[in-house]
């Protein structure tokens, strides 16, 4: 909602948070608090897969909440939320005596209190029928938070607004609520906003004939120079549906970030739509309505402007925040992985990884987009995580155009490794050779370390086709010797010099019984044994062999990973992170655009048998974050 207080107004607001309750799905789940986020206030994405962020049973007396209203505190860093304490699915519409108050310092963790007006103030609020749609406004003069809401009594059909100041810890009221505003024909769903010395009170009102029968309803407003009135009521309807049979309620007004424009939104509850009109003066609104796009079905809620830092916090807690909001000033993008594939906002392939301290660094290729008919990769990407659930994507660290000697414009598979305080990323192209880039940080940026290929097809003495010099994998043994393996059709290997940018000695090839090598070699070591895994056949499976020496002889041990869903290729990284071995690979599982040419990286558990062999990988949708 509108930000009150000088500190709050200075916030650099980048996006929007929508607090709402759901209008579809299982009845027992509808009257629960949910959040959604948008970068433009029009296109919305539900957080937490549209599941409740707090169970209503934990915060309300009835087990249900409706009409949540969220407000940024005057200090800019605290948040206040109120909601109707009502469970219509359980108790019906006949009676609800209270509201819920919530307070947070971070938007994630909320302290709550439930207020029963009839019990707290039996003299004034005896025989109450409804306490509906509470909202909060910071009173700058009183330096207090005013909570206001609609009340109806059993003995009086009139719907009036009452208000009271919240106590300092936002757990109750300072005093008995008093009448704030009594619209001529009653009103519900009030929302106050302040502009240019005037308080604007938007609400759902109606018009009645001389017999008290309602003949019209819609969104109205009243204005005042004082927060608690007196209010001057306008009898003009603001919403575009007032003269139609379409009913609206739950009006809410908020100011667009970095704009002089305001949004009047409302719930078209009978048709499951949410629409809005625009204004710059809060008196005149656009006649044509606009619709939100959303992946949920909200009922009466409210909107709050949020910062990038707050969006990141929400993402780390619940996921679902649009990527644009999560891109920090330094170009990093934070996202949450809930299952396989672990990255869903773009297509990634050919994973490689290493662990440094408590962080896993993931390096991938980047399939250009979904639905491709051939391989189209122009750059490489880097990600990091400390828990395999919360990830950071960094600005693109390396592009095929960074290698001026390349003639193919194809950014094929690679692998990075740390040595002597530098990070070396060995990449391949589709015919121009294998290059090496270097950086001072794992996230880059990287630059071409040689100005020429490290290896070309001319070095692949046993091959005849042009795409043989691809898929480099690098390994540093316990004695400090670095090795490079690569190839398609033939698996080549060679020593690297200490500087990591020169081949040291002869180039050799791996060969052993049952070795059906296609591409994608990966070398790792465990308990003194060397493991060579690789793509085999086509469509590709991942097979592996073991040896006592890095140069062999290797002994074939079988298929490690079957054909990877919807992808002809397969490419793996094997490593241990925080005591658990993992298998990282790609598939084409993002529907509907995933394919052999639009791939996505996945992670599953890897397990060893007592004799050191590896159990076949079980590829899962759940992944490793559950």
57 three-state secondary structure: helix
**Upper half-sphere CA count for residue 60 (Cβ side, 13 Å):** 25
Rounded-to-10 torsion of CA 142, 148, 153, 159: 120
142 three-state secondary structure: coil
Please state, as a whole number, how many other Cβ atoms lie within 10 Å of the Cβ of residue 479. Answer: 5
DSSP 158-206: EEEEEEEEB-TTSSSBSS--EEEE--TT-EEEEEEEEETTEEEEEEEEE
Alpha helices in 508-590 (DSSP H): none
Is the separation of the CB atoms in 432 and 426 below 8 Å?
Answer: no
Active-site residue (options: 275, 350, 448, 459): 350
Active-site residue (options: 67, 160, 233, 519): 519
Superfamily of domain 13-325: Glycosyl hydrolase domain; family 43 (2.115.10.20)
What's the average model confidence in pLDDT over 115-124? 96
**467-519 pLDDT, tens per residue?**
999 999 999 999 999 999 999 999 999 999 999 999 999 999 999 999 999 99
Length of the chain counted residue by residue: 626
**519-550 pLDDT, tens per residue?**
999 999 999 999 999 999 999 999 999 999 99
Among 404, 398, 367, 402, smallest CA distance to 382 is for: 398
Per-residue confidence band for 361, with pLDDT thresholds at 50, 70 and 90? very high
Helix-then-strand count for the chain, H and E: 7, 41
Please state, as a whole number, how many other Cβ atoms lie within 10 Å of the Cβ of residue 592. Answer: 7
The enclosing H or E element of 145 equals: strand 144-153
The question of whether 28 is a catalytic residue gets the answer no
Per-residue confidence band for 1, with pLDDT thresholds at 50, 70 and 90? very low
**299-355 pLDDT, tens per residue?**
999 999 999 999 989 998 998 999 889 888 889 998 889 899 999 999 999 999 999
> Do 13-325 and 333-615 have matching folds?
yes
Q: How far is CA 385 from CA 102, 317, 336, 413, in A?
A: 32, 15, 10, 21
Q: DSSP label at 454?
A: S
Is 2 a residue whose pLDDT tops 50? no
Q: Name the residue with higher pLDDT: 517 or 215.
A: 517
Instruction: Please tell me the distance from the alpha carbon of residue 106 to that of residue 123, in angstroms, as a whole number.
Output: 38
The question of whether 519 is a catalytic residue gets the answer yes
CB within 8 Å of 91: residues ≥ 6 apart: 62
Burial state string for 493-523 with b = 16 or more CB within 10 A and e = fewer than 16: bbbbeeebbeeeeebebbeeeeeebbbbbbb
What's the average model confidence in pLDDT over 186-195? 96
Instruction: Please tell me the distance from the alpha carbon of residue 353 to that of residue 575, in angstroms, as a whole number.
Output: 8
| Domain segments of the chain as ranges | 13-325, 333-615
Among 196, 311, 297, 293, smallest CA distance to 250 is for: 297
What's the average model confidence in pLDDT over 439-466? 97
**pTM of structure:** 0.75
Per-residue confidence band for 4, with pLDDT thresholds at 50, 70 and 90? very low
pLDDT of residue 316: 86
**43-90 pLDDT, tens per residue?**
999 999 999 999 999 999 999 999 999 999 999 999 999 999 999 999
Per-residue confidence band for 6, with pLDDT thresholds at 50, 70 and 90? very low
Among 541, 46, 546, smallest CA distance to 322 is for: 46
401 three-state secondary structure: helix
Give the neighbor-by-neighbor strand order of the sheet with 447-448.
412-419, 422-428, 434-439, 447-448
Is 7 a residue whose pLDDT tops 50? no
**558-572 pLDDT, tens per residue?**
999 999 989 999 999
Does 333-615 carry CATH code 2.115.10.20? Answer: yes
Mean pLDDT, the chain, integer:
95
pLDDT of residue 214: 81
pLDDT of residue 211: 84
Is 8 a residue whose pLDDT tops 60? no
**371-411 pLDDT, tens per residue?**
889 999 999 999 999 999 999 999 999 999 999 999 999 99
pLDDT of residue 536: 98
Q: How far is CA 422 from CA 330, 344, 441, 575, in A?
A: 21, 30, 7, 20
């Amino acid at each position: 909602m509108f930000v009150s207080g000088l500190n709050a107004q200075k916030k650099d607001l980048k996006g929007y948070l929508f607090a709402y309750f759901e209008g579809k799905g299982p009845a027992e789940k509808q009257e629960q608090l949910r959040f959604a986020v948008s970068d433009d206030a029009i296109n919305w994405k539900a957080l937490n897969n549209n599941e409740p962020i707090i169970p209503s049973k934990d915060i309300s007396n009835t087990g249900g909440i409706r009409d949540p209203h969220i407000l940024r505190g005057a200090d800019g860093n605290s948040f206040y939320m109120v909601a109707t304490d009502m469970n219509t699915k359980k108790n019906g519409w006949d009676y609800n005596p209270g509201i819920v108050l919530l307070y947070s310092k971070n938007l994630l963790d909320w302290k709550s209190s439930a207020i029963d007006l009839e019990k707290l103030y039996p003299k004034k609020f005896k025989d109450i029928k409804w306490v509906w749609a509470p909202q909060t406004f910071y009173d700058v003069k009183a330096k207090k938070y005013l909570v206001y809401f609609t009340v109806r009594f059993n003995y009086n059909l009139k719907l009036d607004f009452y208000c009271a100041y919240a106590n300092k810890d936002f757990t109750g009221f300072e005093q008995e609520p008093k009448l704030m505003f009594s619209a001529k024909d009653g009103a519900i769903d009030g929302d106050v906003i302040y502009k240019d010395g005037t308080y604007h009170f938007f609400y759902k009102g109606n018009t009645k004939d001389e017999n008290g029968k309602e003949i019209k309803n819609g969104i109205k407003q009243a204005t005042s120079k004082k927060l608690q009135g007196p209010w001057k009521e306008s009898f003009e309807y603001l919403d575009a549906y007032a003269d139609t049979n379409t009913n609206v309620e739950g009006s809410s007004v908020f100011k667009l970030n970095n704009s002089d424009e305001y949004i009047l939104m409302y719930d078209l509850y009978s048709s499951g739509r949410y629409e809005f009109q625009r204004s710059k003066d809060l008196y005149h609104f656009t006649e044509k309505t606009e619709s939100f796009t959303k992946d949920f079905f909200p009922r009466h809620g409210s909107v709050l402007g949020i910062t990038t830092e707050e969006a990141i916090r929400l993402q780390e807690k619940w996921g679902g925040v649009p990527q644009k909001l999560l891109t920090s000033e330094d170009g990093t993008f934070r996202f949450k992985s809930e299952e396989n594939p672990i990255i869903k906002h773009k297509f990634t392939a050919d994973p490689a990884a290493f662990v440094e301290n408590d962080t896993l660094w993931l390096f991938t290729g980047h399939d250009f987009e979904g639905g491709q008919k051939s391989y189209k990769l122009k750059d490489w990407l880097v990600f990091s995580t400390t828990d395999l659930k919360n990830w950071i994507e960094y600005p693109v660290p390396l592009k095929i155009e960074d290698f001026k000697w390349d003639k193919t414009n194809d950014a094929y598979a690679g692998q990075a490794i740390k040595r002597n305080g530098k990070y070396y990323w060995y990449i391949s192209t589709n015919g121009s050779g294998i290059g090496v880039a270097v950086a001072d940080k794992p996230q880059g940026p990287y630059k071409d370390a040689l100005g020429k290929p490290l290896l070309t097809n001319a070095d692949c003495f046993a091959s005849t086709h042009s795409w043989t010099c691809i898929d480099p994998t690098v390994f540093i043994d316990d004695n400090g010797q670095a090795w490079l393996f690569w190839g398609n059709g033939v698996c080549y290997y060679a020593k690297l010099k200490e500087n990591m940018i020169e081949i040291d000695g002869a180039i050799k090839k791996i060969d052993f019984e049952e070795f059906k090598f296609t591409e994608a070699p990966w070398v790792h070591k465990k308990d003194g044994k060397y493991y060579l895994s690789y793509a085999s056949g086509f469509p590709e499976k991942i097979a592996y062999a073991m040896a006592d020496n890095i140069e062999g002889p290797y002994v074939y041990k079988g298929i490690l990973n079957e054909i990877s869903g919807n992808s002809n290729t397969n490419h793996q990284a094997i490593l241990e992170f925080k005591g658990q071995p993992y298998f990282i690979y790609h598939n084409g599982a993002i529907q509907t655009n995933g394919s052999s040419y639009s791939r996505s990286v996945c992670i599953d558990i890897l397990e060893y048998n007592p004799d050191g062999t590896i159990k076949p990988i079980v590829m899962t949708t759940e992944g490793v974050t559950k």
